[in-house]
Amino acid sequence: MSSATLRALGPPGILLAVTAAGIHNPLVVSLGLSALAGLFTFQAIPVVSGVFVAHGRAGKDLLKVGTPVIPESMGAIAGVIYIIAMFLFIPVPFVKWFRESSFALGDGDLVFPHNKFAQVLGGLLALMSMLFLGFADDVLDIRWRVKIWLPLIASMPLLMVYCVTYGGTDVVVPIPLRPLFDGKLVHLGIFYYAFMAALAIFSTNAINILAGVNGVEAGQSLVIALSIAANDVLQLFRNPSRAEAHLTSLYFVLPFIGVTIGFLAHNWYPARAFPGDTYCYFAGMIFAVVGILGNFSKTVLLFMLPQIFNFVYSCPQLFHIVDCPRHRMPSLDPKTGLLNPTSFLIPASPSLPARLIIRIFSATGLLRITKRDPKTRAPLAANNLTLMNLLLVRIGPMREQNLALAVVVVQAACSALAFVVRYGLVRWVYDVAEDNRA
């Protein structure tokens, strides 16, 4: 064998051997498969890029001089490799039952956990649906008002699985609010399902609107996924009674970390591959799936603070209270090579809600007037209401890779804050930090 072949086959071979050797420890297998999935994603993207571009799956990189054409929808490759890794992994946590061959419901000591199995299938079904809908959106450019509902369809089997495997919709009432309710628990019923559906809709779209700069979609997703994995590991030690839920979460999130790293290597500045809606939707659905199946959706939302901020901050534009230009991405100054914030126009006499928002956001440092009438000093334009424009306004113009890094740092800082809230401050609002249901 030539040394080139050895170098090409060596790492996957070693990983495969480690994975196979760990067959009786699902976590070892999951780690091995995740590393393999990352490696294959990294190797597959350059191979398929030409095919994607040839079939029109390509977009212009607007923040580069000459706007080069970059293969688009590469989330489809990351997603397919993730799904294959998961399909291969499905049997692993159930190996001991396979050896005993007792699959019947209720006979023998070692009853096959069909409910756990259904959870994994339900999660994968939601992910597979979102992968298809994301790719269909990339190809067909589905309208906004239609596509924000797609995750609702994809999350239906997940809610059903939640219903038959947990079923509980009781939520622990925070201590300060308890005088308002009868007792510690409040039964949310159908509203809890509405909350979970809303989580799926929010998290799939949230990554998609904090986007547009090389590496930023995969970068933020990587930090969220790592935070979820860290929380799972922490819970495995602190809260053994919930070990199974957090193991399931790890099994879903580790291969995602793998394929995201493999993809990010091509997507980081200067990008040679774009994620497409396919990746953003898929990443968002991963977070919804682990939150719902692991029964810790509140914690997942805590890890998405920058996305929540970005969404709330964007609302005045998304709901057209103030002007919303077609693109709100930062713009490149070809002379300096730095990104600058972009602006929306303020009409001569803005509506009352628009005036209020501009005044409040200006006072809190969330908005900078970028253009004024030279005579009257009346505001004519202000920065677009996105986290990235805000970072450029507060820190000043910077290179594209630094802006992506800034978003990743903000995301990581928010995760650190989330851990403090989750394990520190929680004592003030709940009796114990361990039971983080819902």
Which residues lie near a copy of itself (CB under 8 A)? 51-52, 55-57, 76, 80, 83-84, 87-88, 90-91, 94, 97-98, 101, 103, 105-106, 111-115, 117-118, 121-122, 124-125, 128-129, 131-132, 135-136, 139-141, 153, 156-157, 160-161, 163-165, 167
345 bridge partner residues: 381
Read off the tokens for 117: 């199995």
Q: Minimum distance between the CB of residue 90 and a copy of itself, rounded to whole angstroms? A: 5
Q: Minimum distance between the CB of residue 278 and a copy of itself, rounded to whole angstroms? A: 10
Q: Minimum distance between the CB of residue 109 and a copy of itself, rounded to whole angstroms? A: 11
- When the beta carbons of 143 and 320 are compared against a copy of itself, the nearer one is 143
* Signed CA dihedral, 321, 326, 332, 333: sign only: negative
Q: Minimum distance between the CB of residue 98 and a copy of itself, rounded to whole angstroms? A: 8
3-state secondary structure of 13: helix
Q: Minimum distance between the CB of residue 133 and a copy of itself, rounded to whole angstroms? A: 8
- When the beta carbons of 98 and 191 are compared against a copy of itself, the nearer one is 98
3-state secondary structure of 138: helix
- When the beta carbons of 282 and 311 are compared against a copy of itself, the nearer one is 282
Read off the tokens for 389: 């424009």
Q: What is the dihedral of CA 198, 285, 203, 167, to 10 degrees?
A: 40
Q: Minimum distance between the CB of residue 122 and a copy of itself, rounded to whole angstroms? A: 6
- When the beta carbons of 128 and 404 are compared against a copy of itself, the nearer one is 128
313-321 LR contacts (CB < 8 Å, sep 24+): 313/366, 313/385, 313/386, 313/387, 313/390, 314/209, 314/385, 314/386, 316/353, 316/354, 316/357, 316/385, 317/344, 317/384, 317/385, 321/351, 321/353, 321/354, 321/357
Q: Minimum distance between the CB of residue 40 and a copy of itself, rounded to whole angstroms? A: 13
**What's the rounded Cα separation, in Å, for the pair 395 and 390?**
8
Task: Please state, as a whole number, how many other Cβ atoms lie within 10 Å of the Cβ of residue 153.
Answer: 13
Residue 216 buriedness (CB in 10 A; 0-12 / 13-18 / 19+): buried
Q: Minimum distance between the CB of residue 45 and a copy of itself, rounded to whole angstroms? A: 14
Do 436 and 174 form a contact (C-beta atoms < 8 A)? no
Amino acid letter for position 102 = S
- When the beta carbons of 23 and 413 are compared against a copy of itself, the nearer one is 23
* Signed CA dihedral, 123, 27, 280, 46: sign only: negative
- When the beta carbons of 164 and 315 are compared against a copy of itself, the nearer one is 164
Backbone angles phi, psi at 376, to 5 degrees: -85, -10
- When the beta carbons of 160 and 318 are compared against a copy of itself, the nearer one is 160
**How many angstroms from the chain centroid is the CA of residue 379?**
36
How many Cα atoms within 13 Å fall on the side-chain side of residue 49?
A: 18
Q: Minimum distance between the CB of residue 115 and a copy of itself, rounded to whole angstroms? A: 4
- When the beta carbons of 159 and 229 are compared against a copy of itself, the nearer one is 159
- When the beta carbons of 1 and 47 are compared against a copy of itself, the nearer one is 47
